Amino acid sequence: MTQPHQQSTASTVPTPKELREQVEQNRHELGQTVEALADRADVKTRARAKATEVKEQAVVKAGELKAKATGVAQQVRRSGSTCPDRVAAQGRSKPVCCGNWATASTRRTGLT
């Protein structure tokens, strides 16, 4: 069998300086890869970060809902009607607690 003849030329053989630069570049890339893998493997830290993110979202949503509920409560107070009156006017079979009626109920039962 014959093997292909390889010619060595000065331009294809890296110099020691080029080899050192390649080694340093490979070390740098390997270090980044190891850091990325370590971050992915750190489940506890990832869980904490996710919990913090969800908590912040919940706080924002709670603020939005509170503002909305306050607005609805003010509208009910301004209307001057009580909940049973509104339920009867809307023809609902199941009463919905709201506004003055719910407040009166809680005062009677001591749930304030």
- The dihedral through the CA atoms of 88, 92, 98, 102 has a sign that is positive
In a domain, 2, yes or no: no
In a domain, 58, yes or no: yes
For residue 56, give both structure tokens. 């912040």
How many angstroms separate the CA atoms of 87 and 96, rounded?
A: 7
pTM for the model = 0.41
In a domain, 8, yes or no: no
Q: Let me know whether 28 and 70 are in one domain.
A: yes
Q: Let me know whether 21 and 63 are in one domain.
A: yes
Q: pLDDT tens, position by position, for the chain (112 residues)?
A: 455 555 555 568 999 999 999 999 999 999 999 999 998 889 998 899 999 999 999 999 999 999 999 999 888 888 876 666 665 566 555 555 555 555 554 455 555 4
In a domain, 7, yes or no: no
Give me the domain span that covers residue 110: 80-112
Residue 102 class from Cβ within 10 Å (0-12 exposed, 13-18 middle, 19+ buried)? middle
Q: Let me know whether 70 and 90 are in one domain.
A: no
Q: Let me know whether 86 and 69 are in one domain.
A: no
Count, residues in the chain: 112
